[in-house]
Amino acid sequence: MKFSRKSRYGLIALIDLAVNSKTEQVSLCSVAKRNGISAQYLEQIFAALRRAGIIKSVKGSQGGYLLNHRPEEITAAQVLEALDGNYHIEEEVSPEGSSCQGISTTIQTMVIDEVNHKLDDVLQNVTLADLEKCYLENEEYNQNMYYI
């Protein structure tokens, strides 16, 4: 499984978009600044997210990015898929003529398939709406803490 900085930045940026682009587009630059991400790197990430249909863009001055779907419809799985490619552990053909076919099959079914299933279990069931909610609740909590 891959979970690179790219995916991490992607999720951060999408939560940022969910919170900050409710009504209109938000510039990449502002997202980058708010979250301490290199703007040029974030461009590559947004390009991939746009190609995957997760966000859409408005060109030109005062342009920016918006979510292309409701937060409830965007899953962590989709985001990782768009940025890091297949997040599953990939099957590997066992070497020609070796007698480990059976062993490979065993590892595939007892370890790899199991892990992949659990990954789906988590990643397809966390939506951007969940993430946004969790974030806002934490913020609220921290605000309250501050005033005590």
Partner DNA sequence: CAAAAACATATTAAACAAGTAGGAAATATA
Partner DNA sequence: TATATTTCCTACTTGTTTAATATGTTTTTG
131 near a copy of itself, rule: CB under 8 A: yes
CA 124 vs CA 4, 60, 74, 118: distances in Å? 18, 34, 9, 10
Part of the chain binding a copy of itself (CB under 8 A), chosen from 21-29, 42-50, 53-61, 123-131: 123-131
99 near a copy of itself, rule: CB under 8 A: yes
Say which residues have a Cβ less than 8 Å from residue 11's Cβ, sequence separation at least 6: 76, 79, 131
Residues of this chain that interact with DNA (CB under 7 A) are 2, 4-6, 9, 27-29, 38, 40-41, 43-44, 46-47, 50, 57-65, 84
Q: Torsion over CA of 123, 40, 132 and 66, rounded to 10 degrees?
A: -100
Part of the chain binding a copy of itself (CB under 8 A), chosen from 21-29, 42-50, 57-65, 136-144: 136-144
Which position among 62, 97, 144, 145 is part of the footprint of a copy of itself (CB under 8 A)? 97
52 near a copy of itself, rule: CB under 8 A: no
Residue owning tokens 């005062």: 62
37 near a copy of itself, rule: CB under 8 A: yes
Nearest-10 crossing angle of helices 28-35, 5-20: 110
